[in-house]
Amino acid sequence: MKAQLKLGSLMLVLLMILAACGGDKGSADIAKLDTDTPDGAFLASVTALKSNDLKSLIKNSLSQEQYNELVTEFENNKSGNFSEADKAQFAQTVAMLTADGAEDQLFEMAKPQLEQARAMLPMMLMMGKDQMLQGIKSNPMLPEAQRESASKVAGAAIDWVSENDILSDDKTKAAIAALVDTAKALDMQSLDDLQNMSFDQALDKGSIAFGGVKNVLGAYGISMDDMLDSVSVDTVDVQGDKATMNVSFEVFGEQVKQTMNMVKKDGVWIGDK
């Protein structure tokens, strides 16, 4: 079980590294938006996410100074200080995910964990919901204005999981298939590939990885694109280079509303902390 958990953790880290670090599929839709306005700039980022277009996302959501800092940070940190053991584990994981018959082999590996998880999940959800909601409401790191929305989403997510058989064989197989397809599409054989990438190449891989994450979630019945489609903006108040606007979206059947602050830097409207 320990080896299987390590396998899943490693792939999750890989996907997150790449996703945090492309494509032009959303460029045409973004071009239709007025990115010189705060709401247009925000919706351009939403459109880029829907199209798995991390290049456009970064272009439309960062100032030039922030972009330069991101590139510098990527170049400084892409080596990751990976050990030989890390590299060997990565290569082994990729080989497992891209081998012939990988989907069947991985499902057989997952079966024992599925059986344990099915037995434990109801109790975990019942015990964990109150604790999670209390933790959100008392979290000093979360702005008070966002705690109610975060609580609604967390509660709705737990209710959704309890009402949907996310650990079924069919959904597990579909999720594994999406993960295998993503690993093949990434076409990375070693961590040296990551270390030798340019920033633009990493963004291209990141777009593939982000699309893969969507597909894995989709296998469980969670559509990120539906959530992105539900995003709307109103009551935009612009005061010089600063703006506030009301953003709403739907997630797990809950309508979430938040006030968002924007600021214009280097001619680009970006989110203001």
Provide the mean pLDDT of the chain: 86
Chain segment 165-184, per-residue pLDDT in tens: 999 999 999 999 999 999 99
Please check whether residue 57 is in contact with residue 42, taking contact to mean a CB–CB distance below 8 angstroms.
Answer: no
pLDDT of 27: 55
* Whole-structure pTM value: 0.81
Please state, in angstroms and rounded to a whole number, the distance separating the CA atoms of residues 110 and 140. 38
pLDDT interval class at 24 (50, 70, 90): very low
Q: Are 235 and 245 in contact (CB under 8 A)?
A: yes
Query: Does 88 or 23 have the greater pLDDT score?
Result: 88
206, 74 Cβ separation under 8 angstroms: no
Look at residue 18 in the predicted model and tell me its pLDDT: 39
Enclosing domain of residue 216: 2-271
pLDDT bin (cut points 50, 70, 90) of residue 114 is: very high
The three-state (H, E, C) secondary structure of the chain, written as one string: CHHHHHHHHHHHHHHHHHHHCCCCCCHHHHHCCCCCCHHHHHHHHHHHHHCCCHHHHHHHHCCHHHHHHHHHHHHHHCCCCCCHHHHHHHHHHHHHHHCCCHHHHHHHHHHHHHHHHHHHHHHHHHHHHHHHHHHHHCCCCCCHHHHHHHHHHHHHHHHHHHHCCCCCHHHHHHHHHHHHHHHHHHCCCCHHHHHCCCHHHHHHHHHHHHHHHHHHHHHCCCCHHHHHHCCEEEEEEEECCEEEEEEEEEECCEEEEEEEEEEEECCEEEECC
Whether the pLDDT of residue 211 is over 90: the answer is: yes
Res 75: pLDDT = 87
Instruction: Give φ, ψ of 247 to 5 degrees.
Output: -115, 135
Position 230 scores a pLDDT of 96
Domain count, the chain: 1
Angle ∠(59,60,61) on CA atoms, nearest 5:
100
What confidence tier does 21 reach under pLDDT thresholds 50, 70, 90?
very low
Q: Which of 151-155, 189-193, 210-214, 268-272 has the highest mean pLDDT?
A: 210-214
